[in-house]
Structure 1
Amino acid sequence: MEIFRKKLTSIDLDRGLELPRDSNLERLQPFHGTIELSTIVESSAGTPLPDPVTIHCSTRSGKLVFTRGWHDIARHAGLKSGDSVTFYREVNGGAQYRMRVISNVG
């Protein structure tokens, strides 16, 4: 069940991935402050990273932002401005969420 889809900007890559305003936050478990989200990350071809990544989601200036863990994903996947991510809830082998990263090649 999709929570959000976003085309990345340089700010998302430098400061943290800010969740779009139209995110389906009902799919996120309720929290106050910071939450850790165990996430399986996969490429557009469906190839997952070997282990789930823990993404820290916190409130910054009233907005939800992925910080620690997100930067590792962006670096490992070589994400650039213009690439896309889709984040959705899917309980699978200990991870509760899945993120698909899509490079904007060409």
Structure 2
Amino acid sequence: MIDDINIKDFLIVDPGTLVAEIMDYQFIALNVNAAQKEAIKVFRNNSRYALPVTDDNGVLLGIVTLDDVLRLAESEGTREIQKIGGSEALDEPYTTISFGSLIKSARVG
């Protein structure tokens, strides 16, 4: 990947303009190995509807859309609220977990 060009830039220039003439070689992309919180932060700070996803060599692998990130942010927020409220899911049902394990999980969360 070498650039991302907004569609409006194609629409407002003379039809004879070369793509190279409107490229600035500056683009925002998500690395495939980036943390989910980083993806949320990049979308939040850059007001984009979609971002390319690249590997460590800058090869385009796909895109992530704002809808994807909003779902991710919602699930992150839900998990954080559950931790605050002490309602985070346990590894086993409440009816079978020992009291000691219940207390231990409450201190860890």
TM-score (norm 1): 0.24
Higher share in helix:
2
Greater CA radius of gyration, 1 or 2?
2
When you count strand as a share of all residues, which structure comes out higher?
A: 1
TM-score, with structure 2 as normaliser: 0.24
